[in-house]
Amino acid sequence: MYIWNNKTKPKTKTLAMSIDNDKVTEIFCMADDFCRVYDRFVKVNGLAPKRDKSKRRYHRDGRLSDAEVITIMILFHLGGHKCLKHFYLYEVCGHMRDLFPHTVSYNRFVELERKVVVPFILFVNRCCMGACTGISFVDSTALRVCRNQRIRLHKVFKGLAQRGQCSMGWFYGFKLHLICSEKGELLSFMLTPGNVDDRDPLRNKSFIERIFGKLVGDKGYICKDLFSRLFVDGIQLITKLKSNMKGQLMTVSDKILLRKRALIETINDELKNIAQIEHSRHRSVVGFTVNLMAGLAAYSFFPKKPMINVERVSPYENGIIQLSLF
């Protein structure tokens, strides 16, 4: 049984945090430990790209490591900045010179972003996701790559981005599908073209492999076949009922959880307005991918996240486990 205390409200939007040396060190240590494991795995399994022997190359390590590139990108989104060039030249090369002594030019830094695309995606997926608690929320948000008036002229994402429709109307770009816990932590994410149905990612095993218990969504996730498939995997999909869905019953606790879907809507708003994962200034697919991964990683380091205070109590009364939600 779930009991909701109306005096407790979800926390509001998180403001951009001030970055101190301890936070920079924490992010760098996590990224460096992961990059060491990743490089060792690539070397052992022979997955490193082969070099073209016909071209002359200097066989030396770069001045800026992969972990430093990942850290700088996360700090950029964590601080709420909007111009990467200004942040790198004036903040990293200036005020953070003692933390990053071997900086390179901005043009070289942009080139190094291509090198960290794959490890950055794995780092976000393995180190920045939270743990499922049994109560999760699912939703999708639109990532526009250009205005509707410029769709025919847009060439960067030609063949990748598609036209789609969301609650705010038609758009051209991608859809970011997210699953979060009641603590405000991201549990899983998936990027699809804009014309993909919101229910399709839930049919993907990799998207829901860490999810169990109750999964709350809007009316866009109503599907009898999907409900049965998720129920077999130990997931109870909870959505609002349509007027023609007769004979369907819903408990009071499920109705209360549906009212708290504003939690994941707030997360989408913070990712777009604070972490800056959506803008129309991308000039390559690599830049778009790194920007998105950095925004998701930066959100995991926010000091305050929108959350619902949940307290689970399990006194055994007549063999029944009771849960209390405050």
Rounded CA separation 47/321 (Å): 50
* One domain for residues 120 and 174: no
Residues of the chain with pLDDT under 70: 1-18, 49-62, 246-247, 310-326
* One domain for residues 79 and 194: no
* One domain for residues 113 and 223: no
* One domain for residues 149 and 215: yes
pLDDT of residue 296: 96
Domain edge (last residue) among 126, 161, 176: 126
pLDDT of residue 43: 87
pLDDT of residue 40: 92
* One domain for residues 153 and 265: yes
Rounded CA separation 118/112 (Å): 12
pLDDT of residue 57: 57
Distance, C-alpha 246 to centroid of its chain: 36
pTM (2 d.p.): 0.85
Does residue 296 fall inside a structural domain?
Answer: no
At 298, list the tokens: 């930066």
SS3 296: helix
Nearest-Å Rg of the Cα atoms of the chain is 22
* One domain for residues 204 and 267: yes
Q: Which residues contact 209 (CB under 8 A, 6 or more apart)?
A: 188
Convert the pLDDT of each residue in 52-94 to its tens digit.
555 555 555 668 899 999 999 999 999 888 899 999 999 999 9
pLDDT of residue 224: 87
* One domain for residues 155 and 77: no
Closest CA to 26 of 210, 280, 301: 301
Does residue 3 fall inside a structural domain?
Answer: no
Does residue 275 fall inside a structural domain?
Answer: yes
* One domain for residues 115 and 143: no
Does residue 9 fall inside a structural domain?
Answer: no
The string of DSSP codes covering 118-135 is HHHHHHHHHHS-----SE
pLDDT of residue 202: 94
* One domain for residues 139 and 234: yes
Does residue 165 fall inside a structural domain?
Answer: yes
Domain edge (last residue) among 126, 146, 166: 126
Write out the residue range of the structural domain in which residue 210 sits: 131-281
Does residue 39 fall inside a structural domain?
Answer: yes
Domains in the chain, number:
2
pLDDT of residue 24: 92
* One domain for residues 108 and 146: no
At 295, list the tokens: 């925004």
* One domain for residues 179 and 234: yes
Domain edge (last residue) among 126, 153, 181: 126
Does residue 307 fall inside a structural domain?
Answer: no
Does residue 10 fall inside a structural domain?
Answer: no
* One domain for residues 136 and 120: no
CATH number for the domain that contains residue 215: 3.30.420
Q: Check if the beta carbon of residue 89 is closer than 8 Å to that of residue 129.
A: no
Q: 311 forms bridges with which residues in the sheet?
A: 324
